[in-house]
């Protein structure tokens, strides 16, 4: 720094001059100095000279800088602490609110648990009822199976072929004799429309008589048709239609009895009787 203005100021005012914060570079380091200029006068009070003192404050300056930095950090930390405190207060309020909601939810869960226990008891009771119903159904199924086997054994013993159809003319039953006549097995025709089957019987001529039986005014006399059996042989087929009666006497289908008819043998038996 330039010392002359300081010396002139000390001479002119007759008072000491002090300047702080003077930085002196020395290599890579910097010194912090405080400069004192003390005027010196003779016996008559005239300026005679000046005493210049350099006070090194590098360590104090460094400490002051660190102190300022620490104070800034403390202030920043204090602001963060205040902010954190506010957030904690807000979080505490939210936690209190959440706690109240959890208490309400817990009460609802307890109520729901009681309802579930009641439902569980009802389900156990229902399960017992279902088991009883299932046992009854199993017994009825066994009875139905026995009845089915009984009917099938009767059908196997008949010389006539038997076809049973529902109200939509779909096949419900197909006896072994019917399979022998037309060459189709029971599992091939069950559930199929009778009118769609490719057999040697003129089914189109049976449609209206079967509809009449379902309507309650079907023919009672046997019907005679020329047909072709599974071996390709021309035969005469005598067919008798009767209603399949279900619940409440409703006509749920048609029972078709078929037998191969020999007109010559019929005339012979008639002559024998005569």
Query: Residues 156-172: pLDDT tens digits?
Result: 555 688 999 999 999 99
- Pairing label, strands 251-261, 234-245: antiparallel
Beta-strand ranges (E) seen in 146-233 are 161-166, 171-174, 223-228
- Check whether 113 has a pLDDT greater than 90: yes
**pTM for the full predicted model:** 0.45
pLDDT per position as a tens digit, 10-63:
888 888 999 988 888 877 788 888 899 999 888 877 778 889 998 888 888 888
- Check whether 269 has a pLDDT greater than 50: no
- 83-98: b (≥16 Cβ within 10 Å) or e: eeeeeeeeeeeeeeee
Give the pair of three-digit tokens for residue 202.
Answer: 């003129």
pLDDT per position as a tens digit, 168-204:
999 999 988 899 899 999 899 999 999 999 999 999 9
CA distance 33 to 55: 5
- Whose CA is closest to 241, among 228, 254, 232? 254
Summarize the confidence of residues 66-72 as an average pLDDT: 91
Maximum mean pLDDT: which of 58-67, 139-148, 225-234, 245-254: 225-234
CA distance 36 to 19: 7
Distances (CA, A) of 213 to 53, 144, 202: 141, 26, 18
Mean pLDDT for the chain?
85
Give the pair of three-digit tokens for residue 195.
Answer: 């009118």
- Pairing label, strands 161-166, 17-26: unpaired
CA distance 142 to 134: 12
Amino acid 155: pLDDT: 53
CA distance 256 to 250: 17
Summarize the confidence of residues 101-112 as an average pLDDT: 92
Summarize the confidence of residues 215-242 as an average pLDDT: 85
Helix H or strand E segment including 52: strand 47-56
Summarize the confidence of residues 90-115 as an average pLDDT: 92
Distances (CA, A) of 72 to 61, 67, 68, 69: 16, 8, 6, 5
Confidence of residue 268 (pLDDT cuts 50, 70, 90): very low
Helix H or strand E segment including 40: strand 29-41
Query: What domains lie within the chain, and their CATH numbers?
Result: 4-56 (3.30.450.20), 159-273 (3.30.450.20)
């Amino acid at each position: 720094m330039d010392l002359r203005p300081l010396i002139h100021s000390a001479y002119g005012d007759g008072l000491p001059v002090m300047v702080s914060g003077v930085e002196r570079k020395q290599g890579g380091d910097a010194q912090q100095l405080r400069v004192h200029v003390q005027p010196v006068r003779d016996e008559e009070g005239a300026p005679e000279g000046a005493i210049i003192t350099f006070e090194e404050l590098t360590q104090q300056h460094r400490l002051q800088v660190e102190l300022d930095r620490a104070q800034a950090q403390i202030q920043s930390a204090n602001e963060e602490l205040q902010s954190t405190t506010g957030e904690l207060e807000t979080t505490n309020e939210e936690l209190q609110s959440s706690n109240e909601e959890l208490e309400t939810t817990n009460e609802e869960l307890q109520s729901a648990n009681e309802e579930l226990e009641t439902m569980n008891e009802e389900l156990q009771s229902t399960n017992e009822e279902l088991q009883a119903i299932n046992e009854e159904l199993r017994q009825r199924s066994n009875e139905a199976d026995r009845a089915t086997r009984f009917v099938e054994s009767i059908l196997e013993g008949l010389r006539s072929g038997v076809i049973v159809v529902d109200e939509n003319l779909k096949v419900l039953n197909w006896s072994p004799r019917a399979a022998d006549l037309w060459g189709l097995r029971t599992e091939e025709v069950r559930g199929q429309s009778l009118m769609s089957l490719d057999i040697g019987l003129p089914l189109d001529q049976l449609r209206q008589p079967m509809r009449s039986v379902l309507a309650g005014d079907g023919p009672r006399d046997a019907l005679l048709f020329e047909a072709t059996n599974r071996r390709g042989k021309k035969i005469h087929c005598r067919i008798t239609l009767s209603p399949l009666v279900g619940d409440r006497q409703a006509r749920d289908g048609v029972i078709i009895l078929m037998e191969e008819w020999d007109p010559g043998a019929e005339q012979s038996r008639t002559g024998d009787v005569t």
